Structure 1
């Protein structure tokens, strides 16, 4: 029984470490936000899509060639056609073989909306295989290097 000096319990010393848990939580939330929004920001890039490097078009037994020039005129093969004539020809081709491929050539200056309308017309006619024919990258002498198919 020692009634000597009573020592008071010392108060704990202040913690000098930084609590990392809130910092990690904030960083994870920011990471998730960037992962979700990064693909959305890629649509604001200005791209010249018609110049693409890709594999050569494979030999397919059934295809039709459709083109649209800068003025918006439609061509089936090398012959100019109207929208109704193109729709009729596409329906005939789809009736003969539903797997008929459309090889679409569009000038780089044609608005995207016109190309989308043309694709919609072809799909409603029953043709769903649409390949975009593009010019290859320019050669060293400045001339384009032949066409290639992309977007199949």
Structure 2
């Protein structure tokens, strides 16, 4: 079954065959689309990599031990117990240079709690110890 564009007189068709032209144009269009560089509008950001070691609560410059009126001990504003205090003190002694340790008991804290914490600090062999907040006691004497 031949396609004769609707004429049955047997004469050859005089119209140009556009199928190969369209095929070539499509191939050229696809090649042009492929060769165009991809336009990216991305902003490159260097994200921090997750570390496998947990963050240490021991600061490199100075650390603060605070005892509140109820007798709770804080290390850099984090509540801790005596075992954790000793671990943090040992970790701070591992650093070079040794960070300062600021000791600040609340005026209403019980003396036995303050004495217990000072004994832990002394047994840890801390050499850079400073008492901060002493100005709160100036009117007591």
TM-score (norm. length: structure 2):
0.48
Which protein has the bigger strand share? Answer: 1
Which structure would you say has the larger Rg? Answer: 2
